[in-house]
Amino acid sequence: MSELSNIPGTGICLRPCLSSGAVTGGFDLTSFFDSFAYGNGYPTYSGANKINWQAVGTDKIRFGVYSQGKSSGSNVGYYSAVIPLRVQGNGGKDTVIVLYDRGPEGVSVGGDGIVYGNSATPTVYLGFTPTSVTFDPYNMSLATGTTLQTTVLATEITDFDVRPLDEKVKATLGLADYESAKSITLESGADGSSFVSSGLMKSMGSGNYTREIPSRQSVTFYRARVLLHSGEVLYSRVVRIAGVQPQPSVRLLANPVSGILRLRSQGDGNSFSYKIADFNGRILRRGTLNFNTLSEIDLKNLQKGQYLLTVQSGPWNQTIRFMLQ
């Protein structure tokens, strides 16, 4: 593995002398050490993962960092990567801009010891018109990649967010010029690099879009894919949502019941306790049943009437009223 080096002109040092908790220019580098010191492999930004760039006016440049590939044998979900880019322009102008790809936390820009921003499409002031961008020509990082110049897009993503909502997640997107969009797809993936469609986002009017889908038990990464009428594609930033473990549940197969109380349960634990009580609070039955099975409780010798079934596993509990006939 090549040595991490200083990046000239940025005020940023990435030599191994830094401890895993080091902070440079006010930026916590812990995630970078987690990726490269404790993980295997390296990130790639080529093919479908190229770094996009476009001139903005006559003195700025906008980058697009939408996804990340990984080398063979990698065991890192998403690398917190440093991306040095050489930008050349009219009149022999030449500079190095450093992007920090932090995946779900966005992309930041570094320079003169300062790190700012968290957008997947950061815009940087140059003071000249860019004509070419080269990916890490001085081999200052552990990433590999290429760049792609794109045309000025007809619109841009103003906001993208995903939030848990009960047993679902809700994604929202804002577009500056929604009439330029042909379709908007919510994409999801398990590692922040590979994505598949999770369905079309619904227009709520005025450039706002939304989609709700069931939450997943494992960590999931989300992004929006905007297809323009021109055929060009925009990608939002990537949002990471922690896995949601479903609550245990019990349901009766019939109610009213006669003689036998049959119920079906689901849960991550091995078993749960139950008790049956009348409305005077007297416990008439109690025991233990296994989760994820069809269970039966004998109600022999109980009088007809209404009862309460209470089930519990750890802090979770559920009470069901049933009628014995």
Place of tokens 């700025």: 60
Task: Render each residue's pLDDT in the chain as its tens digit; 325 residues.
Answer: 333 444 444 444 443 333 333 344 455 566 666 666 566 788 999 988 899 898 887 888 988 887 888 888 888 888 888 899 999 998 899 999 999 887 767 788 875 444 555 667 788 889 999 999 999 999 988 899 999 888 765 577 888 999 988 778 999 999 887 888 899 999 999 887 789 999 999 999 989 999 999 888 788 999 999 988 878 788 888 888 887 666 788 889 989 998 899 998 888 778 899 999 999 889 999 999 988 888 999 998 899 999 999 999 888 889 999 999 8
Contact 232, 151 (CB under 8 A): yes
Locate 155 and state its tokens: 């619109």
- Report all structural domains of the chain as residue ranges with CATH numbers, in order of start: 23-149 (2.60.40), 157-241 (2.60.40.2060), 249-324 (2.60.40.1930)
Strands 220-228 and 233-235: antiparallel
pLDDT given for residue 228 in this prediction: 84
**HEC string of 151-177?**
CCCCCCEEEEEEEEECCEEEEEEEECC
Locate 2 and state its tokens: 């090549």
Q: How far is CA 45 from CA 82, 83, 168, in A?
A: 11, 9, 32
CA distance 197 to 44: 22
pLDDT given for residue 112 in this prediction: 46
Locate 64 and state its tokens: 């697009």
How many Cα atoms occupy the beta-carbon half-sphere of 254 within 13 Å?
A: 12
pLDDT given for residue 74 in this prediction: 84
pLDDT given for residue 101 in this prediction: 87
**DSSP bridge partners of 214:** 168
